[in-house]
Each structure stands twice: as structure tokens, then as C-alpha cells.
Chains A and B, each alone.
Chain A
């Protein structure tokens, strides 16, 4: 087991390049019983386990992953971190997450390559400038950085956009969050896994949950492909498979599983120095350290559990890319892939208790799971440890649609196909 990474361990391995780095996290055999079992070894599940051990002293924890760590959405997102939310219940949560990102590499002793390169959302109409001004004002009232840029200021930051008279979507200006940026998604999930393992958490890979063990309305354990594991409490953090796993406990969720595709071009020299998003369509792009432009758009638009995207959506997203950044028409697409995300009717997540005793849900992340990972783990750990929601996730409950508490941040949710 690796104890800690430092300049000395780096030097030692640099001088002896044939010496193997120690395994980052332990691969234990599952015990028959744990205080807490987290289903899903993605970023959210591992962060939850880490904060359960770190903040609440609960170390008898297992994280069950059906495949290997980093195989799901933790390695399929577009790595953007930001906190430009304006609805109560979202704003402070995502800002807390961004603050945790700022210290995450130190916290985990793992370089998460957090880059505060800033996010610029381009406005394509005067009305959109008004909307962005409102969003920016609300962010600033909450102590979050935001600035409104006019067309000239936008052109200075992003000279490669289409500023011609013929532009189908003319650039009117933009809203800029300088502290937003990107992080290395694999490093985050490996970092949480290693840090949780060092605190005694068991990370059990290749262990798929096949059923829940129930005692009346209370969950007492899980059936897995590696046998039954008893648990005092069970947390679900399985993204696209939320409905599938919750059904094992007799629950139906306000969730539909959809595929979101992402794309990367061939690597080129540095040209895009920010995260760039667009007001005309859902489109977001950044340039990776390797040089590829990493970007994505909308979901395909019908529920599916296959990680294979449809061609028409690839074409849609390429049209967005070329419309916003004409130079991209000369680039070649290197790879594309899909991840299954659990879309909720209002586009906001669940971090909450469920109607089943001792069963907790972390899901419904829609487009925004990656940036939320640290705060999601922090507040989900609190919810599990105290059997009560943390102040930051008190609005992310399952019954909010019954009570008129929708968090309709962008008005998209899973309804895109109905618009």
C-alpha cells in the first residue's frame, strides 16, 4: 500500500524506473457485515465512503463496484467544475463543491490537476445578456465570482468565435466565472479510492449487487455476485442505474436513464484557454492538457441503458461546435463515447433518505455529476451518518415534486424530448 506521495517518493521512482509503484488501494475480500455499504464505486460513492471515515469516524464501510474503479461516468464526463447556479438549494451546494475542489489535491495527497481556467458562457441575444446579468448578480450576492463581459471583452478572451456579420448566432457578450475550470476525472476517483482505503474503507471491485435483503420496511444487507453482505445502512450511488437498484428495494424513482455523449478531437496546440459554453444550445468545450478539444451537448433524447450513442446526436453536436467555433470544421474527431445518466424531471439531484428504512439515495445527477462529486460525498456521508439531510442538501429530497419544491435550474431535466 502506498503511504503517501511526495517529492521523495517521486525522486526514488525516477532514479529506479523499473521499481513498481505500490498499489494505490487495497483489494480486500468482502467481510460478511459492514456498518455501511455503499453501492457504486464511482466518484460519488468513494467520496461518500471517504467522508464517512474522515468526518464521521465510520470506517467499517464497504464500497461495492460491479466493474473496476473509474469504469463508469467517473471516467466519461467532460471534467468541468463550476458553481454558476442561481436557485436556492443549488447555489450554495455547488459553491461548497467548488471550494472542496480547490483543496482536493492536498486533501487526498493526489494530484487532481484542478485548473481554474475559468468558464465563459457566450450569450447570443440581448435577452440572454439580461438573464446572465441576473444569474451573475445572484451568484455575487452569494459570494461567488461572476462577471458580465460585453462583446469586445468576450472577443479578447475568445478571439476564435464567429464574430462575422453572417454569424447565425451573433455574440452579444458572455458571463465569466474565473474560478471555474477543469479537473482530472480519473485522478479524482483514484484519489478518493486511495484516501478512503487508507482510512480503512473496503473497496470491493467486480462485485455487482443483485438484490436487497429486507426485514419488513428496513434494508439489512445486499445480495451480490460475491455473496450476501449484511449492512447497518445502505447507500445507493449508481448514477444511470439508480432506478434499477432502487427497484430491488421496491422503490420507483422520479428518474429516467438517458445516454449523454462526449467527444474529443485530435490534439492540437493550445487555442481554447477556458471552458466555453454556449447560450444558443447546450454545448460545452474545453481543451485537455494533451491538446484535444473535449466537448459535449444534449442527451440523445430517449431512455436507454446502452452506452452506445446515436449518430444524429453526434451530427447535432458537431453543428454546434462549428457554429460557435468555425475553425473546428477543419479538425478531426478522435473519439466519442457515452455514459448513462439518471435524468430527473427538474434537472436537479437527490441526496436523501428514502421511504425504506436505512436506505439512502444519491442520484439523479443529470448533466452535473462530476463537478458535484466532493460536496455530494460530503453531504451524503452526513445524511447517512445522522439519518438526516445536511443543510446543503436539504432540498434534494425525493418528495420535492409532491410538495412543490422543484429545483428547476435550467428547465431541462429529462423533458428535452418533449420540448
Chain B
């Protein structure tokens, strides 16, 4: 799988670090019930299909970015800044 780094272009997945689901909202500091923190931290959408996620180009420009990937086919559905 090759990932589109917004700065360096298409590179092999081995240059990147995966950062998890980008659609989740972290509860504000000091706010949120234990249940909200539990759901934020431990529960995953884990869809079979389109997934918005964080990646970091650790062995390149070290930039963090988000992209959409189809988890059923590992197809890149278009990156975002």
C-alpha cells in the first residue's frame, strides 16, 4: 500500500506511522463523564469501508495528516490536509 503524503507525494506505507481514527472527538480537558472518556478511548467504529484516519510520515517530512481509506480494500479514497 502506498500513501499520499501531502508534502512528499506517494510513499510506501512502511515510511508512515498509523495514528488511529481521525473522526473521534476528544472530550474537552476536565469535561466529560467516565463513560464518555471510556467510549473515546476504548470503543472503535472499526468500519468495513470508508475510514478517516491519522498518519504521520515518520521516515519522511514527519508531517501528520488525515486521509480516507477503504478498510475493505485498502484503497485510498482521497487525502485531506
Contact = CB atoms under 8 A, between A and B. Distances in A.
A243 B71 CA distance: 13
Given A310-B1, A402-B35, A417-B17, A303 B42 contact: no
B74 A306 contact: yes
B29 interface: no
Nearest to B17: A417
A257 interface: yes
B12 A253 contact: no
Interface residues of A, number: 24
B73 A306 contact: yes
A345 B14 contact: no
Interface of A: 241, 243-244, 252-257, 301-306, 308, 310-312, 345, 401-402, 417-418
A402 B38 contact: yes
B71 to A, nearest CB: 5
Task: Tell me what chain A mostly uses at the interface: helix, strand, loop, or mixed.
Answer: mixed
A303 B43 contact: no
25 contacts: A243-B44, A243-B47, A252-B39, A252-B43, A252-B45, A253-B43, A253-B44, A254-B43, A256-B44, A257-B48, A302-B18, A303-B71, A304-B71, A305-B71, A306-B73, A308-B74, A310-B14, A311-B12, A312-B12, A401-B41, A401-B42, A402-B38, A417-B18, A417-B20, A418-B20
B13 A303 contact: no
Given A254-B44, A306-B71, 9 more contacts: A243-B44, A243-B45, A254-B43, A302-B13, A303-B51, A304-B74, A310-B1, A312-B12, A418-B20
B4 to A, nearest CB: 15
A417 B44 CA distance: 15
